[in-house]
Amino acid sequence: MSLGTVIHAGLVRPSRPVHALVLMGGGARTAYQVGVLQALGSMIRLQPGGSARFPFQVLVGTSAGALNVAYLASTAMRGLDSFELLAQFWSRLQSKDVYELDVALWAQFNRWLAALSLWRNSRRHGAILNNMPLVDTLHRAITLDNIEAALNEKAIDAVAVTASSYTSGVHWTFCHTPRGRGHEMWSRPGRRADFQPLNIEHLMASSAIPFLFPATPLWVDGRREFFGDGSMRQVSPLSPAMHLGAHKIMVVGVGQPQRSGLIASADDASARAPTLGGIAGHAMASVFHDTLQADVEQAQRVTKTLQQLPREVAGVLPYRSVEVVSVQPTQSLDAVAQAYSHELPRSVRRALGGLNAMKGGGGALASYLLFEPGFVQALVKLGQQDAYARKAELLAFFEGSAA
DSSP assignment of 147-192 equals: HHHHHHTTS-SEEEEEEEETTT--EEEEEE--TT-PPPP-EETTEE
Phi/psi-derived region of residue 223, left when phi > 0, alpha when psi is between -120 and 50, beta in every other case: beta
- The whole-angstrom separation of Cα 315 and Cα 300 is 19
248-252/187-188 β-pairing: unpaired
φ/ψ of 63, rounded to 5, equals 55, -130
Question: In 92-160, where does DSSP find H-type helix?
Answer: 111-125, 132-141, 144-152
Q: Are 366 and 335 in contact (CB under 8 A)?
A: no
CA atoms within 13 A on the CB side of 166: 16
Nearest to 356 by CA among 115, 150, 128: 115
Residues designated as active site: 63, 229
The burial of 48, by beta-carbon neighbours within 10 Å (0-12 exposed, 13-18 middle, 19 or more buried), is given as exposed
Report CA torsion sign: 1, 64, 384, 142. Answer: positive
Direct distance between the N- and C-terminal alpha carbons of the chain, in angstroms, rounded to an integer:
27
CA 128, 22, 154: angle at the middle one, nearest 5? 120
DSSP states of 328-350: --SS-HHHHHHHHGGGS-HHHHH
3-state DSSP percent of the chain in helix, strand and coil, to 5: 50, 15, 40
Q: Which residues contact 79 (CB under 8 A, 6 or more apart)?
A: 51, 52, 53, 54
Please state, as a whole number, how many other Cβ atoms lie within 10 Å of the Cβ of residue 400. 8
What pairs with residue 284 in β-bridges?
none
